[in-house]
């Protein structure tokens, strides 16, 4: 099963076996420490932002979110959130759960 958001930028694939559910979500190029994950038995929320700092000497100094994303994924079966195994590889987040 694949899902593309309205912007066409986020692809989610869900694979399942008798006992596990594996969610692979392509995400923007964001450092792992700037990613957030929330898991409920029937849904998964992924979010993140990459801040960029701009300094113009003697004029201004500020930060802004250069990249932001938020993705709510409905899961086809209830999972056990506490069994989550999470890997970040390239620009994909791979989450494995027991059903």
- Sign of the CA dihedral with 12 first, then 43, 71, and 30 last: negative
- How far from chain centre, in Å, is Cα 89? 12
Per-residue pLDDT tens digits of the chain, which is 99 residues long: 333 343 345 689 999 999 999 999 998 888 888 899 999 999 999 998 888 888 888 888 888 877 888 999 999 999 999 999 999 988 899 999 999
DSSP for 36-87?
Answer: EEEEETTEEEEEEEEEEEEEETTTEEEEEEEEEEEEEEE-SS---GGG-EEE
CATH number (2.60.40.790, 3.30.70.3420, 3.30.1300.10, 2.60.15.10) of 2-98 reads 2.60.40.790
Q: Is the whole-model pTM more than 0.85?
A: no
């Amino acid at each position: 099963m694949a899902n593309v958001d309205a912007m066409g930028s986020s692809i989610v694939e869900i694979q399942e076996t008798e006992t596990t559910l594996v969610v692979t979500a392509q995400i923007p190029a964001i450092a792992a420490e700037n990613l957030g994950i929330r898991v409920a038995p029937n849904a998964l929320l992924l979010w993140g932002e990459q801040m960029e700092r701009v300094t113009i000497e003697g004029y201004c100094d500020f930060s802004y979110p250069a990249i932001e994303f938020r993705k709510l994924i409905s899961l086809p079966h209830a999972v056990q959130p506490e069994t989550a195994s999470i890997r970040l590889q390239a620009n994909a987040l791979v989450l494995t759960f027991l059903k």
